[in-house]
Amino acid sequence: MFELTTDLAQPIAAYSHGMKQKPALISAFIHEPEFMVLDEPFVGLDPKASRVVKDLMREKCNEGGAVFFSTHVLEVAEKLCDKVAIIKSGKLVAHGDMDKVCGDSSLEAVFFELEEGGK
Amino acid sequence: MIRKLFILNLKALGSNFVRGGKKKPGAGKILLVTFVALYVAATLIGMFSALFHSLLEPFFSAGIGWMYFALLALIVFGICVISTIFGAKDNELLLSMPIKPSAILISRLLVIIAFEYVFAVIAALPAFVIWLTGGYATVGGILFLATGIFLLPLMALAVALVLAWLLGVVSLRLRHKNIIILALPVGFLLAYFYLFSNIQGYFGELVSKGAELAEAFRRVLPPFYGMAITGSGAGSKITFALWAALPFAAAVILLSTNYRKMLIANRGNVKVVYKEKPAKAGSALSAFVRKELAHYWSKSFVILNSSIGSLFMLALSAMVIIKMSNILLYADEIAPTLGNLPPAALAAISPVFLCTVNNISASLISLEGKNLWIAKSIPVPPKEIILSKVCTHLLISGLPCLAASACAATVFAGNVSDWLIIVALPQTVGALIAVGGLAINLHFPILEWTNEIYVVKRGLSAMITMFGAMGAIAGLGFAYAFLLSAIVPLTAFLWICAAAFAIAATIIYAWLMKTGGKEDC
């Protein structure tokens, strides 16, 4: 799935950050949970692996499950998520369906609006 | 920069003892560490006191008092040659910073020297006090001895540096380096025990051939001879000082210029190519046990520091089979000196003491280090992981122990009851140490180590487990000898102990299975 086969003989400790992310994600998906909590799942992943993870997350949601994940990449959140929540200084400042939170703007515009509005 | 690095290294070493993660250690933990350190120091001082007390009179009354100090010098030297400066995991990080490699080297050396002085004082203090109270001391001798103790660790460190460098160079060209690295100290230990078992004969030879030995010592080991002749002239003292200081200075200069090259050298690690083969489905438990065993076999210092008892158990098994008749004769001879201890009890107790030296499980959580996330993230119940660590200890310690006990039982057991106690007692002790060591390590994990050797050798949980087990067994022995021997027959006492150990092991195992996985490492 993540093209780790050629590196299976190496210890995980010798993997790069992105490669370590792959067995961690495999561990998370392999037992087919209905609900997943992922912290920055795309950090360090190459574009191909990142695409695989996005597809898997979408598939999980289409099957009736849920994936709750954090990210700093707003474009990813905007394209991938059904619902979004924005946290600022530890406080929830906006949340709801993506369409409702963003309206006609982009998620990035909403984020900076909230960021500047709070100053 | 050297001072800052030195303080950082000292703090890192300190955190190896008291800190597991980012949490600050509490007063209780610091108290416990202080107690363990004092207990270890007291044990070593007691051991060296007994040794030097037995040596003082024979050596000085025979006119070979210099041998007393020569042995002291050799012991201090021996316990100081235990250092490592090349395997630290933060070497690459430090080298990437604008810090001179020589500053990294010197800061590491200073930490090692500081520790060596502590060990040197622990070994030398009993010898010094016994010599002083024995009435053989002179003012000049005292001053020279103090200087000698200051200089000896430098010479030991110079030798350790050269040995480590040589081992590094040689190991690049060897395929089975772990076996060789393991064989060297085991051979040394076996030689030590052989010499120790024949010590009385050597004493006799020492006394009769004192002058010849002095001459041989002077020729073969001049620095130790120089330190030994505390009452001689200034020439020999200067020679000794030069012997100690010059190799150290030369080693530091040599390494300073090559340190960067040595640290970034390709250690011969070739990327293993994965060959596709059909996957074998097995239980998570067996996979974890295989992983633990693979790590264990790949690190000679782990084998040596956490399971030396198993090596001796295997040696004991072989010895019992080969020398069965001699052992029976020897057991009859020493029985009166041990208060007519029944042979079956002796056979049951010997593997017990070897079990206490094995503390494999006491560092298995710590050894996960920064890879603990793997165990935490995989979809396997934590109790399976914990159980795998207990099983690893039982396999490495329990199987050789079973072999040693079975061999001992074959020779010494008079009936079925003897057979059972000889086999059962060491196994219950081993099981208690397996679960107890793991529980202690869960409570005191060290995950931010820079070198695995600190965890296995000097980790708080490893020390508590080993010295705690030794203390408990010795305590029970004393309690029986002085309090209970008149009330309870020895075999009955051993059965009571075995039952108590089994119950304690079961309780700790149940706790590990129920709440151990929830411990925050």
Contacts of B274 in chain A (CB under 8 A): 5-9
Which of B275, B276, B378 shows the shortest C-beta gap to A27? B378
> Which pLDDT score is estimated for B82?
47
ipTM of the complex: 0.70
Contacts of B276 in chain A (CB under 8 A): 5
Binding-site residues on chain A for chain B (CB distance < 8 A)? 5-10, 12-13, 23-24, 27-28, 30-31
> Which pLDDT score is estimated for B188?
60
**Residue with the larger pLDDT of the pair B257 and A19:** A19
The secondary structure element, H or E, covering residue A39 is: strand A35-39
CA closest to A4 among chain B residues:
B274
The secondary structure element, H or E, covering residue A95 is: strand A91-97
Alpha-carbon dihedral B187, B189, B194, B199, rounded to 10 degrees: 140
Which of B274, B370, B374 shows the shortest C-beta gap to A8? B274
Contacts of A7 in chain B (CB under 8 A): 274
Query: Is B274–A13 a contact, with Cβ atoms under 8 angstroms apart?
Result: no
Which of B271, B275, B377 shows the shortest C-beta gap to A24? B377
Query: Residue A64 pLDDT more than 90?
Result: yes
Termini Cα distance of chain B? 33
**Cβ–Cβ < 8 Å for B511, B439:** yes
Can you give the three-state secondary structure of B432-495, one letter per residue?
HHHHHHHHHHHHCCCCCCCCHHHHHHHCHHHHHHHHHHHHHHHHHHHHHHHHHCCCCCHHHHHH
Query: Is B374–A12 a contact, with Cβ atoms under 8 angstroms apart?
Result: yes
- State the nearest Cα–Cα gap between B261 and chain A, in angstroms: 22
Please write down the long-range contacts of B48-57, taking CB distance under 8 Å and 24 or more positions apart: B48/B75, B48/B122, B48/B123, B48/B125, B48/B126, B48/B127, B49/B126, B49/B129, B49/B130, B51/B126, B52/B126, B52/B127, B52/B130, B52/B131, B53/B126, B53/B130, B56/B130, B56/B131, B56/B134, B56/B136, B57/B134
Q: Where are the alpha helices (DSSP H) in chain A?
A: 17-30, 47-62, 74-80, 98-102, 107-117
Query: Is A27–B377 a contact, with Cβ atoms under 8 angstroms apart?
Result: yes
> What residue type is B106 in one-letter code?
I
Which of A6, A24, A28 shows the shortest C-beta gap to B274? A6
CA closest to A27 among chain B residues:
B378
Query: Residue A58 pLDDT more than 90?
Result: yes
Query: Is B377–A10 a contact, with Cβ atoms under 8 angstroms apart?
Result: no
Contacts of A12 in chain B (CB under 8 A): 371, 374
> Which pLDDT score is estimated for B389?
94
Query: Is B271–A10 a contact, with Cβ atoms under 8 angstroms apart?
Result: yes
Contacts of B271 in chain A (CB under 8 A): 9-10
Query: Is B371–A6 a contact, with Cβ atoms under 8 angstroms apart?
Result: no
> Which pLDDT score is estimated for B229?
54
Distance of CA B471 to the CA centre of its chain: 16
CA closest to A17 among chain B residues:
B371
Task: Please identify every stretch of chain B with a pLDDT value under 50, giving residue numbers as ranges.
Answer: 81-83, 231
What's the residue count for chain A? 119
The rounded distance, in Å, linking the Cα atoms of B44 and B161 is: 25
Contacts of B272 in chain A (CB under 8 A): 9-10
The full set of domain ranges for chain A reads 1-70, 76-119
Binding-site residues on chain B for chain A (CB distance < 8 A)? 271-276, 370-371, 373-374, 377-379
- State the nearest Cα–Cα gap between A27 and chain B, in angstroms: 5
CA atoms within 13 A on the CB side of B28: 2
Residue A52 binned pLDDT confidence (cut-offs 50, 70, 90): very high
Which of A10, A27, A28 shows the shortest C-beta gap to B272? A10
> Model's pTM, two decimal places?
0.69
Interval B450-506: pLDDT, tens? 778 778 877 888 988 998 998 899 899 889 888 888 888 888 999 999 999 999 999
Which of A5, A7, A12 shows the shortest C-beta gap to B371? A12
**Cβ–Cβ < 8 Å for B240, B223:** yes
